[in-house]
Amino acid sequence: MDPLTEAFQTINDDNIIAIYQKYSSNEKMFGLRTANKIFTNELLFAIDEHIDNQENIEYNDQRKQKSQFEFTKIINIPFSLVDNVTTRLNNIEEACRNDFGNISSEFTSSLRNEVIQRYAITQRLHHSSSSESSSSQLSD
């Protein structure tokens, strides 16, 4: 139960009538002033406590929101780095695929040229050896 409700429940009609009948008029005035001071002090204390609790709740909520923001900001740094590294790796992989295609094409082209050159040399050697053998047969 909150302090404000407690303060109102402590002073009820029966208590006030019992106090009022018990004392003389001077004592009653003094008692009423004292009761008024006590009630006012309890009421003000309850109100202050309620306000302090609300301020603490708001302050804690603000701290919690700030902490969550800071945590999110800090935790996003590694995610951002991983994302950047992943993007760079994807770019490198794409470049390697493109380079492999270029290298494969150049290698195939070089290999084809090499085969053509060797075939031409072999044909020349074969042609020259067959012409030498025919010319040697003619000279015999």
> 92-132 pLDDT, tens per residue?
888 877 777 777 788 888 889 899 998 888 888 887 777 66
Q: Are 2 and 50 in contact (CB under 8 A)?
A: yes
Domain, as residue range, for 40: 3-139
Q: Are 45 and 3 in contact (CB under 8 A)?
A: yes
Q: Are 25 and 33 in contact (CB under 8 A)?
A: no
> 5-20 pLDDT, tens per residue?
665 566 655 666 666 6
Rounded to whole angstroms, how far apart are CA atoms 4 and 45?
Answer: 8
At 100, list the tokens.
Answer: 């492999």
pTM: 0.34
Cα dihedral angle (17, 21, 25, 27), rounded to 10 degrees?
Answer: -80
Rounded to whole angstroms, how far apart are CA atoms 126 and 80?
Answer: 67
Amino acid 124 reads R
Structurally, how many domains does the chain consist of?
1
Q: What per-residue confidence (pLDDT) applies to 66? A: 87
